[in-house]
Structure 1
Amino acid sequence: MNEDRAKGKAKDAIGSAKEMVGKATGDKETERSGKADQVDGKVQNGAGKAKDAFHGDK
């Protein structure tokens, strides 16, 4: 697993937590920010998977 995949998974997890906090507190901005972080994390993780596939890693 390369660095992009690890960072992407971390962003996704942090985004999920931010979204839950935003929902719990009624803070729509935090909720939206969390959703955006999740998308960024998924994209970064996908880029890392592509790099791994190109280099023959799993």
Structure 2
Amino acid sequence: MNKNQVSGRVEQAKGAVKEVAGKAVGNASLQAEGNVQKNMGKAEKNFGDAREHAKDKAKDAVDKL
């Protein structure tokens, strides 16, 4: 697990909390901010997943040499 995966998951969770809180209190701005933060976290997590996958594939290729 790399730092992008961890950071992305944290931001995704914080965004989800903001989104729910905004919805609960009727604050559309907070809800939208949470949605954006959640999606940015998801993108960062996916980037980290791709990095990890690439690293694993590179290691497998080196091991085959």
TM category (shorter chain) comes to over 0.9
Matches for 1:9-48 after TM superposition, within 5 Å: 9-48=9-48
Identity %: 28
Instruction: Give the TM-score normalised by structure 1.
Output: 0.94
Give, in angstroms, the shift of residue 4 of structure 1: 0.1
Larger relative contact order (C-alpha < 8 A, sep ≥ 6)?
A: 1
Larger radius of gyration: 2
Give, in angstroms, the shift of residue 48 of structure 1: 0.1
More helix by share: 2
Give, in angstroms, the shift of residue 8 of structure 1: 0.3
Aligned residues: 57
Gaps of 5+ in 1: none
Gaps of 5+ in 2: 58-65
Q: What code does the residue aligned with 1:42 have? A: K
- Hey, what does 2:7 align to over in structure 1? 7
